[in-house]
Amino acid sequence: MMHPIRRQRLFLVIFIVVAASLAVGLMTYALRDNINLFYPPSEIAAGDAPPGVRIRAGGMVVDGSVERASDSLFVRFLVTDGEAEVEVHYTGILPDLFAAGEAAVVTGELDKQGIFMASEVLAKHDENYTPPEVADAMNAAHERAKQSTDES
C-alpha cells in the first residue's frame, strides 16, 4: 500500500497534468481557425476568407494549369482541394519543388474577382519518399494503365 502522503502527492501530479491539458485543450479549440496555416480553396470559394487581407491559401496545383509569361517572371495557376479551385497570380521565382500535381502554399491577398494575388509561393512536400528508379517505374505503369483504359 502506498503511503497516504505520497498518494496525496500523486493525486496532485495527476491534477496538474489534467488541469493543464484541459486549459490548453480549450485554448487551442477556441483558436483552431487561427492555428491553421492556410485556407483550403473550398473555404475561399465559399467566402470564408476575408478579401484584401494578407492570408495564405494551400492546395494541389492543378495539372496543366500553370501558365508562365514569356517576357517576365509572371505565372498563373489553379490550386484545388478536390472541391473548389482558386486562381493564383504570382510574379517571382518559384521553389524547385513547385510542380503541377504537387501541393503548394501561397501568401497574398484575394482581389475583388476572387483571384489570389500571391507575394510568396511555397512548395509543400508530402510524406512519401521514393528513389528515382521506383518513381519512374510507377509513373510508367500509371501511363500504361491510362493508355489501356483509353484504348478500350
Partner 1 sequence: MWQWFHRLGSPRWFYQASGKWLPWLAGITFVLLLIGLMWGLGFAPRDAKQGNSFRIIYIHVPASFLALAGYYVMAIAGAVGLIWKMKLADMVMKSAAPLGAALTFVALITGAIWGKPTWGTYWVWDARITSMLVLLFLYMGVMALQHSYTSVDAANRASAVLSLVGMVNIPIIYKSVDWWYTLHQPATIKFTEAPTMHPDMFHPLLVMIAGFYCFYALVLILNTRSEILHRERRSSWVKDIVLQNQR
Q: Does 17 bind partner 1 (CB under 8 A)?
A: yes
> Is beta strand 116-124 parallel, antiparallel or unpaired with respect to 103-110?
antiparallel
Question: 96 or 150: whose CB is closer to partner 1?
Answer: 96
15-23, 69-77, 110-118, 143-151 -> range binding partner 1 (CB under 8 A):
15-23
Question: 78 or 121: whose CB is closer to partner 1?
Answer: 121
Question: 37 or 46: whose CB is closer to partner 1?
Answer: 37
Residues of 70-97 as b/e, b for ≥16 C-beta within 10 angstroms? eeeeebbbbbbbeebbbbbebeeebeee
Task: Give the x/- contact pattern for partner 1 in 19-38, rule: CB under 8 A.
Answer: -xx--xx--x---x--xxxx
**How far is it, in rounded angstroms, from Cα 116 to Cα 107?**
9
Whole-number Cα distances in Å, 87 to 39, 57, 65, 84: 14, 11, 9, 10
Tell me the site size for partner 1, rule CB under 8 A. Answer: 44
Binding partner 1 (rule: CB under 8 A), the pick from 70, 72, 113, 128 is 128
DSSP sequence for 84-111: -EEEEEEESPPPTT--TTSEEEEEEEE-
Task: Give the x/- contact pattern for partner 1 in 44-83, rule: CB under 8 A.
Answer: --------------x-------------------------
> Is beta strand 85-91 parallel, antiparallel or unpaired with respect to 67-68?
unpaired
Q: Does 123 bind partner 1 (CB under 8 A)?
A: yes
Binding partner 1 (rule: CB under 8 A), the pick from 4, 13, 30, 52 is 13
Q: How far is the CB of 67 from partner 1 (least distance, A)?
A: 20
